[in-house]
Every structure is written in C-alpha cells, then in structure tokens.
Chains A and B, each alone.
Chain A
Amino acid sequence: MNDTRENMILPGKVDLPFSYSAGKTASRFFLGLRDHKKILGKRCPGCQKIIVPAQLFCKECFVETDEWIEVGPEGILLTFTVVYRAGKHQPISTPLAYGIIRLDGADTSIIHLLGETDVSKLRAGMRVRAVFSERRKGHILDIQCFRPV
C-alpha cells in the first residue's frame, strides 16, 4: 500500500526518571542484603508459609506477615534459562542466565541471575548459592547472582 511514498516516521523518546518506594518490608529485606549479607523471608501467620523475598502480606490469606526469618544462602535450582537476545533493559551483557531458586528454609522461591551461563552446566535440582556484590546499595542486585555449589 502506498509504496510510492516514504512513510513519515517521527522518532520519539521517552526519557524519564522514576524512583520507586520499596516500602518498609522490601527496605528491610534489602538492608538485610546490604548490611548483613542475609536473605530474609517473612512468615504468614495464616498459612505459616515463609515467603521470600519478604512481602508485607500474604496474597492468599490477605493478612500481614509477621515473623522475619533468615533463609538460604543456598537452595535448589527449580528451573533456569539462558538469554542470548540482548536488550537495553538487561543489567549485564548477554548471555545471561536466570534461575528460580527454592532457598533452604523458604516455602516460596526467589528469581535471580545465575552465575553460570552454559546451559550444559545447568540442571534443575542442582544446588546453588548466593554470591553477594562487593558494593551493595540496598537493591535486589546486592545479590550479584546464584552460583552452582
């Protein structure tokens, strides 16, 4: 259609800063990472599940979680992927790997980067361990990644 003319396209940029409140629960979780290299979960007083990363409330019971509990730093890799398709939104260069990890002592799993990007060296069920960043600032990337034990 309309092959005879060149389509006029306006390049548009959305270039905006955002700064998201973590809230008191995620803040405490991040401070655990930053200041103590500890991964914290919270227990739901209803279903007794230990939710990691810590959440203010349990989505099923719809009540606030109460007790803080340290979990990990080791756990079992439930599943993984290795991403080759690069994008500006990725925090590190490709290939990069993600895993879903059930940390020891937790009833839910955490998603994070994996330190191993060779598919042949990853398998569901293997044990992995959190590696903390050298410079931590109170952020989910204060855990640099999880690496096979």
Chain B
Amino acid sequence: MGKRVAIIGTGQTNHCSSREDVNEMELVYEAASAALMDAEMTIQEIDAVVLANMELFEGRALPDMWCGEGAGAFMKHSFKISTGGTSGTSGAISGYYHAASGLFDTVMVVGFEKHSDGNTAAGMALTDPFWDRHIAAAAIGNFALSVSEYMADRGVTKEQSAKVAVKARRNACNNPHAHLQMPHLTVKEVLESPILAYPIHRLEMCPQSDGACAIIFASEKIAQKKCPRPAWVRAAVTRHDHIYLGEVKHRLATMRSLRAAAKSAYGIVGIREPIKEFDVAEIYDPLTYAEIAWYEALGFCRDGEGGRLVDDGITQMDGELPVNPSGGVISTNPVGASGTIRVAEAALQIHGRAGKRQIPDVNLALATGYGVYCWSDVIILSSKPG
C-alpha cells in the first residue's frame, strides 16, 4: 500500500479570457508561487514537479521544457502528463503517486492552459485525420450529438440545463479566480443566448480561459507539520473508454468510465450514499447537460433523476450536496488546469480556506476529471487520513 498523502497548499491565477500581462510560463509561475505562499513553503522544499496541459491548444511541443521553470522544476524531477481534458486531474493523480510512492516528500502539480495564445477549436479538431477531422465540429459538435441522445434518454429539459448554468455563474461570483461571474443571470437569458450547436446555447457551454492552478502534495510527516487541516487523498481512480463517439451508445446517460471510476473510488473509501456522505463536490462539467448526467453517473441520484436534483436545488450552495461552489468548468476553463482546479477547490473546502464559497464543515470532498468522453478521474479528499 502507498504512503498517506495530503494536499497542503493550492494556488490559482485569476482566470480570464486573455492574460496579456504574462506569458504561459509566467502564468505557471503565478500559480506555483501562490501555492507556495498558501502552504508557507519555499521552492527549495519541493522535491518534484508534475505539469499538466494540452499542448496543441498553444501549438507547443513538450511545453514542460519551457514552462517547467515557472513551476519551480529547475533542477528537480519533473515531467508532464497529458490526457486530454483530464490532464489536470491526471496530473494531480500523478503528483499523488509521486508522494504516495515514498520516493518524494513534497510534490508540486501545476495544470495550465493559455487558450488566448492559440486556436482552441482547431486544436480540438485535430483528431483522427482519416475520419473525425473532416466531420467533427470540435468538442461542441460531439457534445451536441450526445446531448440530443441524452435528452431523449432521460427527458432532461432545457430549463433544467439552464438552471445549472445559472447556478454555476452565480456561484462563480463568490470565487475571485472565476472567469465568468454573472450574479444576475437568468434561465431566460441562458436560453436566449445564441445556439452554438443545437440544442446547446452559448451560455450552457464552458468558456475558454487563460489560467493555471497549482497543488502541493506532501507526505504524512510534512503534512502534519505544515498544514493545520490537511486534505488527505483517500482515493484516486482513472478509467478509460472507447474514443469513437459512436462505439458507445447513450454516452452521457451511461458514461461508464465515470461510473466505473466512482464505483472503485467509493469502494476504497467505503462510501455507500454519496449524496449524504460527501459535503461538497467539484465535478468537471464541460457543459450544463454533462453536470446533470454526472449526478447520475456519480450516484447522487438514480438514473433519470438528475434533472430533479436541479429543480429541487439539492446541488445549490445551501443544498444537501453543493456541487461546484467554485462555479465549475462552465464558469472557468483553462483546459489543462480545469481538472487541477477541481482538486484544488475540493482541497480548499477541506482546508477551510475557500472564502466566500466555503461550505461549512467539509470533511469529505469529491473531485472529478473528464476528457473527450474517454477518460474519467475520480478523486476523494478527506479531513481524516483514514
């Protein structure tokens, strides 16, 4: 069995559509510096660095060579994890493995993306050159296909979807790092925003952000010493599924990679009733409909009841299980960092350092990562080492 590991510090940039004042490496530096300050550590106390991003968005090859310095990787062990949209959570899981292996005591993980440097839609379209590249309309087109399927499968309504968007952008107002903060957004406005790909409206989709997020993992000894309330990693599970969209029917309704990852992670921690046992969840919601589908896949409710959870306000800030107090990916999406942000936000809730978005008395928190329908990551953090 691996060693006990906790998250003892996190740091984020202020995410927005275009950070003109820093380059990509400096964006990483900003997040890493913030995490060091949060953990009250110096870079000399960090043993290893893991980076995570999706390099073709910025047209880079091996961007960790350039950006590693920003994460303080100079003269340290370092590499980059890249697994599509899950990069940020997969990077965090790798950082956890580094510490849990016993080979490193302290590990800095930084997820980052600077969408404004490149051309995100085109980068996404660079899929199978023989097939998808000539047909697919980036991520949104594939989402739209699945959403049409999902609505038919589960009877989820446009209004329920729009409510998720409203919740996300309002929650984001409590998060100083969030990209889209819309305190007065209404369901009507969401449904009146332009359709990107039927039936998805612009305000139901995630934005493209410039941003970075850093997490510091530490071994038990250091965590106890450095952090008054460490966020212990209790489970970190990845599952992978078929890449051809049409090889898995009812993707959103089934999302078997997320179901399998959750089942395994819940088994490790001994969770039977996630909606009761989790105090908060930070889930990777690339669009509103996915958030509802993930409620079902994560067992927050029975299949077909995701929409009801929204209608009943169960996942609101004051609900039984607040989902994405940060505003989620729908409010902030620097892809390579989006997963890392989920983990950082879940940790912040346990640290009790989440400011205006703090949920009271968080002891058990869930974070998930999602990538191109193929990958799902599930991470469970707890105030108790277990």
Contacts and interface: CB of A to CB of B under 8 A. Distances in A.
A25 B26 contact: yes
Contacts of A22: 23
A79 B19 CA distance: 36
B72 A23 contact: no
Interface in A1-40: 10, 12, 14, 16-26
Contacts of B58: 18, 20
Interface residues of A, number: 19
Contacts of B126: 14
Contacts of A18: 58-59, 117-119
Q: Residue among A23, A25, A57, A62 with the most chain B CB within 10 A?
A: A62
A21 B118 contact: no
Interface in A50-66: 56-57, 59-60, 62
A10 B20 CA distance: 38
Contact of A62 (B22, B72, B133): B72
Contact of B20 (A12, A21, A25, A59): A21
Interface in B61-98: 69, 72, 74
Nearest to A20: B117
B246 interface: no
B248 to A, nearest CB: 26
Contact of A21 (B19, B43, B122): B19
B300 to A, nearest CB: 39
Contacts of A12: 129, 133
B184 to A, nearest CB: 31
B129 A21 contact: no
A9 B364 CA distance: 52
Q: Residue among A18, A21, A57 with the most chain B CB within 10 A?
A: A21
Interface in B243-264: none
A17 to B, nearest CB: 6
5 contacts: A10-B130, A21-B117, A25-B26, A60-B74, A62-B33
Given A21-B117, A62-B36, 19 more contacts: A16-B118, A16-B119, A16-B123, A18-B58, A19-B117, A20-B24, A21-B22, A22-B23, A23-B22, A23-B26, A24-B21, A56-B22, A56-B29, A57-B29, A59-B69, A59-B72, A59-B74, A62-B42, A62-B43
